[in-house]
């Protein structure tokens, strides 16, 4: 068998597909592998270039194959799709990956470390519990509204409703409904305790990470956003500029330009939705603080708020914050206050 130089590996839960080329670009391997046989198969091969789609468990397999001496490149699935010929199946996907990984202008995803993936698990778990908390609160409000019991928006309103449920003398709530709503209340308490515990873990991780502490100095960036960026961005230098980083998050305008005419639309929303939400939330916090304490020391933000709605300004400010964060990560710098703000 001729020497394999490039392999496209289509990963899955149990059945993997391998497509390999030699130095001349000729197909020398095309076969299926069971999960238990993957590492043994690659141990027998000389070091080669392995392409994998950046999907579930891709970072794990990248670390494992790199430990065997192979050069692994993770490719966004959207960039592999144009190389799939006609029908889509595992063999066609592996062949497309093998073709895409050799392109000179292809973009790759840096492999995350175990610590970064652990941090992402922490953030995803906290985010899931917050969504469950919102769902439980909405259920409590909706069910009690059926009995004509409503409360104000916010935490205090929820507490008022739970006090009504806990009061056996309040005859507006039937006993059967009271039992169900009491279960919702107990579940809400447990979820809130879990969220507080996750917040404590994030703060502890934030204090132990030097880069996260540096990012926290920027306006609108707190421990949650700082640790999320550190966990998500394996190599900030994989982005050529701050604009590329903000485009990856999805907070730059969509382009539909032609004939030398630039046409910009709404933001693309292509990229990491979780990071995008955190950056926008941070921008809204900066705007809220500026409105309370005055915007004279932020002339750019003042001019923007004068001609655009608050939420539009928040998107623009989030874009600016993302570029600042990228510069601090890529260059190892600390946050520098603008001259007007320092004065």
Whether residue 233 lies inside any domain: the answer is yes
38 contact partners, CB below 8 Å, separation of at least 6:
16, 61
Q: Give yes or no for residue 341 having a pLDDT over 70.
A: no
Same domain as 262, residue 156: no
pLDDT on residue 299: 81
Whether residue 316 lies inside any domain: the answer is yes
Whether residue 18 lies inside any domain: the answer is yes
Same domain as 331, residue 274: yes
Same domain as 93, residue 13: yes
Model pLDDT for residues 38-83, shown as the tens digit of each residue = 999 999 999 999 999 999 999 999 999 999 999 999 999 999 999 9
3 state SS of 128: helix
pLDDT on residue 321: 94
Same domain as 254, residue 170: no
Domain end point (choices 72, 100, 128): 100
Whether residue 106 lies inside any domain: the answer is no
Q: Is the pTM of this model over 0.85?
A: yes
Q: Give yes or no for residue 261 having a pLDDT over 90.
A: no
Q: Which domain holds residue 60?
A: 6-100
Angle at 309 between CA 305 and CA 314, to 5 degrees: 75
Q: pLDDT tier at 174 (50, 70, 90 boundaries)?
A: very high
Same domain as 156, residue 91: no
Q: Give yes or no for residue 230 having a pLDDT over 60.
A: yes
Distances (CA, A) of 125 to 88, 120, 198, 264: 33, 8, 8, 36
Same domain as 119, residue 170: yes
Model pLDDT for residues 1-31, shown as the tens digit of each residue = 578 999 999 999 999 999 999 988 899 999 9
Whether residue 110 lies inside any domain: the answer is no
Same domain as 192, residue 216: no
Residue 26 belongs to a domain with what CATH number?
3.30.420.140
Domain end point (choices 174, 208, 242): 208
Exposure letters 27-57 (e unless 16+ CB within 10 A, then b): ebbeeebeeeebeebbeebeebbbbbbbeee
Whether residue 90 lies inside any domain: the answer is yes
Same domain as 218, residue 196: no
Domain end point (choices 160, 180, 208): 208
Model pLDDT for residues 304-331, shown as the tens digit of each residue = 888 889 999 999 999 999 999 999 999 9
Same domain as 230, residue 326: yes
pLDDT on residue 342: 58
Same domain as 332, residue 223: yes
Same domain as 120, residue 93: no
Compare 295 and 215 and report the one with higher pLDDT: 215
Counted domains in the chain:
3
């Amino acid at each position: 068998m001729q020497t394999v130089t490039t392999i496209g590996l289509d990963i899955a839960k149990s059945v993997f597909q391998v497509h390999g080329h030699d130095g001349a670009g000729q197909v020398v391997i095309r076969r299926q592998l069971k999960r238990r046989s993957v590492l043994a198969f690659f141990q027998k091969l000389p070091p080669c270039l392995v392409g994998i789609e950046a999907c579930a468990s891709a970072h794990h397999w990248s670390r494992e194959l790199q430990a065997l001496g192979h050069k692994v490149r993770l490719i966004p699935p959207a960039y592999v799709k144009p190389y799939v010929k006609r029908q889509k199946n595992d063999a066609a996907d592996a062949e497309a990956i093998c073709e895409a990984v050799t392109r000179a202008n292809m973009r790759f995803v840096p492999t995350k470390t175990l610590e970064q993936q652990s941090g992402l698990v922490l953030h995803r778990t906290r985010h899931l519990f917050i969504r469950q908390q919102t769902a439980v609160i909405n259920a409590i409000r909706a069910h009690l509204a059926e009995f004509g019991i409503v409360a104000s928006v916010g935490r205090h309103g929820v507490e008022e409703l739970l006090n009504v449920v806990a009061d056996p003398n309040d005859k507006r709530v039937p006993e059967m409904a009271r039992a169900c709503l009491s279960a919702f209340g107990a579940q809400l308490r447990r979820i809130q305790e879990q969220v507080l515990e996750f917040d404590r873990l994030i703060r502890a991780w934030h204090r132990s990470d030097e880069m996260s502490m540096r990012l926290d100095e920027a306006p609108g960036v707190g421990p949650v956003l700082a640790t999320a960026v550190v966990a998500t961005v394996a190599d900030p230098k994989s982005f050529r500029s701050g604009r590329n980083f903000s485009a990856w998050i999805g907070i730059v305008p969509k382009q539909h330009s032609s004939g030398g005419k630039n046409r910009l639309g709404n933001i693309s929303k292509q990229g990491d939705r979780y990071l995008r939400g955190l950056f926008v939330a941070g921008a809204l916090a900066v705007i809220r603080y500026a409105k309370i304490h005055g915007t004279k020391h932020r002339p750019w933000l003042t001019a923007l708020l004068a001609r655009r709605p608050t939420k539009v300004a928040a998107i623009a400010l989030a874009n600016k914050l993302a570029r600042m964060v990228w510069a601090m990560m890529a260059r190892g710098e600390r946050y520098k206050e603008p001259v007007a703000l320092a004065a």
